[in-house]
Amino acid sequence: MGFAIIGAGLASLFPLALLLGSQVPGESAAAAIAAVSTAGYAGFLAGPATIGFLAEAASLPAGLAGAFYAYYSTYVQAGFFAFNIVTLLLAASVIGGVRSIWAAPVAAAILVIGPEQASAFEEYSVLAYGIILILAGIGLSGGLAGLGNAGLARLRGGGVGPRPRARAKVTPASDGQPPLAIAGANLVARDVAKRFGGVEALRGVDFAAKPGEITAIIGANGAGKTTLLNAISGHIPIDRGLIMLGDERISGLRPDRIAQAGVTRTFQTPEIPEELTVLEVAESSRIGKRWMPPPAIAVRTPGYARLRREDANRARSALEFVGLGDVEHMPAHELPLGRRRILEVARSIAAEPAVILLDEPAAGLDPPALESLRSVLGRMREAGATVVLVEHNVNFVMDVADTACVMDLGAVIATGTPDEIRRNERVLESYLGRRKSEHQTLDEPETVEAADAV
C-alpha cells in the first residue's frame, strides 16, 4: 500500500511539473503557471493541447499507483479509497511542496513508512493529518522542496544566513556588454474590421510597424486601440481583413500560435504573484518556445539541464537589457509599479519576439519611472525590435515614437511622424472637438491639457 500512496502523491503533481519543466525551465513550477495565467499569458502562450497533455500526464503515475494498490490488496473496491487517503495525499502535497516533481512522493513516503505502519494511527489519521496540514501551512509555506531550495540558495551565496536583498532600482546597461539583438519583423494589418453586436470597434483599419522603429497608437478612450492589439495577438477574431507578420499570415490563428510566431505583449495592469522572483517572471515567457519528452523531464537529463540554462541565460540577458539584472532574485511583487511594468517588457524580450505590443506601459508612472521606460524603449529600437506602443500620454508618445497612428471611433484618421501628427487638423479636431488655429499644435499647453483628459 505504501507504494500506491507514493505513486498517488506523484500523480498529484506530476502533470504540473512536467508542463512547466518542458516549457518553462525554472525552479518554481506552480508559481510560473500562476504568473502566466494572472498576467494574461495563459491563453496567449499555451494552447488547448496543453490541457490534453496534462490529463494524459496525470494518468501515468495514477495508473501506476492503482496497479501497486491492486497488487498489494489482491482486489479493489471503492470503499478502499476513503477520506483518510484523500487527506494523506493532500498532506503529502503540502508537506512536500509544489515546486518539485519529486517532493510529493517523498513526503508521501515519509508519511506512509512512519505513521501508516502503526495500526493505532489508523483511528486518528484524519485528525493527525489535519494537524500536520496546519503546522506545515504555517511553518513550511514552500514545503520540503522550498526549504531545500532556500538552503541551497544560501549555501551558493557563501553563507547560511539570509541573502541580502538588492534594492529595486533600474540601472543602465553595461557599456562593456554587447547589446542584445532583437530580430524584429514587419507587421501589417489591412482592412481589419471587428464588430461587437451593434458596435463597430474596428472599421477598415490599415496599420504597419517596422523593425527598428517605435510605432505608437494614440486616441481617446473607446477609439479601438486595445481592440487592435487584441486582434493582432489573436485574443479576438476579426470579422474582415488581413494581419501579416513578415511573410506569414497570423490572422485567424489561435493566440498561442501567434505567440509562437513571435508576437509578445504586455497588458494594462501588471499582475504578478507573490511566489515569483524577478528572474522567474522573465523566464515564464519561454512557455511554448520548446518541448521535451516527459521522461527526459522527469529524470532531468543533460538535455533538459541545458535547456534550463539557455532559458535562464536569455531571461538574465533581458533583465540586464532593461536594467533589472541586479534584482533578479528579488520577489517580483515587491517592485514598485514602474519597475513591474519594465519587468513585463523584459519578459516580452526574453521570448525572442518578432513584434512587441505594449498596452499603456506609461500609465500611472511618475517622472523618474517615465524616464526609465523612455530609456528602455530607446534601447529596444536600437536593438532592432518592432515595437507597437498604445499610450494616452501624448507628450511621452511624441518624444519616443518614430511613427504615430491616430485612431478615432475604430478607424485610423492619421498616420505620420510626430511632427506631422502635431499639426494635423483632423487629429486636433478629434482631441479638442473643434478646429484650432493653423499655428497651434497638439503639444501646446491648452491642447495637451485636453489630450491628457481623454
Query: How much is the pTM?
Result: 0.70
Summarised one tens digit per residue, pLDDT across range 160-194 is 333 333 333 444 444 444 467 888 999 999 999 99
Q: Identify whether residues 143 and 195 lie together within a single domain.
A: no
Q: What is the pLDDT of residue 139?
A: 66
Q: What is the pLDDT of residue 150?
A: 67
Burial label for 453, CB within 10 Å (0-12, 13-18, 19+), is: exposed
CB-CB contact of 426 with 364 (8 Å): no
Q: Identify whether residues 314 and 374 lie together within a single domain.
A: yes
**pLDDT band (50, 70, 90) for residue 21:** very low
Residue 166 forms part of a structural domain: no
Summarised one tens digit per residue, pLDDT across range 240-261 is 999 999 999 999 999 989 998 9
Residue 393 forms part of a structural domain: yes
**Grid cell 481589419 — which residue?**
192
Residue 310 forms part of a structural domain: yes
Summarised one tens digit per residue, pLDDT across range 97-138 is 766 667 777 777 777 666 555 555 566 666 776 777 777 666
**Which 3 state secondary structure label does DSSP give 209?**
strand
**Grid cell 553563507 — which residue?**
159
Nearest CA-CA partner of 345 in 385, 402, 393, 313: 385
| Strands ordered across the beta sheet of 355-359 | 263-265, 355-359, 386-390, 213-218, 403-408, 411-416
Q: What is the pLDDT of residue 6?
A: 46
Q: What is the pLDDT of residue 113?
A: 66
CB neighbour list of residue 240: distance below 8 Å, 6 or more residues apart: 191, 192, 193
pLDDT at 276 > cutoff 60: yes
The total of structural domains in the chain comes to 2
Residue 145 forms part of a structural domain: yes
Q: What is the pLDDT of residue 355?
A: 95
CB neighbour list of residue 364: distance below 8 Å, 6 or more residues apart: 337
Residue-range definition of the domain harbouring residue 207: 187-453
pLDDT at 28 > cutoff 50: no
- HSE-CB for 127 with a 13 A CA cutoff: 5
Summarised one tens digit per residue, pLDDT across range 186-224 is 999 999 999 998 899 999 999 999 999 999 999 988 899
Residue 94 forms part of a structural domain: yes
Q: Identify whether residues 307 and 392 lie together within a single domain.
A: yes
Summarised one tens digit per residue, pLDDT across range 277-310 is 899 899 988 877 777 777 777 777 888 888 888 9
Q: Identify whether residues 139 and 198 lie together within a single domain.
A: no
Q: Identify whether residues 342 and 410 lie together within a single domain.
A: yes
Q: Identify whether residues 336 and 200 lie together within a single domain.
A: yes
Q: Identify whether residues 224 and 76 lie together within a single domain.
A: no
Q: Identify whether residues 259 and 362 lie together within a single domain.
A: yes
Residue 165 forms part of a structural domain: no
Q: Identify whether residues 216 and 355 lie together within a single domain.
A: yes
Summarised one tens digit per residue, pLDDT across range 336-395 is 888 899 999 999 999 999 999 999 998 888 888 899 999 999 999 999 999 999 998 888
pLDDT at 430 > cutoff 60: yes
Q: Identify whether residues 341 and 445 lie together within a single domain.
A: yes
- What CATH number is attached to the domain comprising 395? 3.40.50.300
CB-CB contact of 5 with 108 (8 Å): yes
Q: Identify whether residues 239 and 144 lie together within a single domain.
A: no
**Grid cell 491616430 — which residue?**
406
Residue 409 forms part of a structural domain: yes
**Which 3 state secondary structure label does DSSP give 20?**
helix
Q: What is the pLDDT of residue 215?
A: 96
Residue 261 forms part of a structural domain: yes
Q: What is the pLDDT of residue 19?
A: 41
Q: Identify whether residues 270 and 389 lie together within a single domain.
A: yes
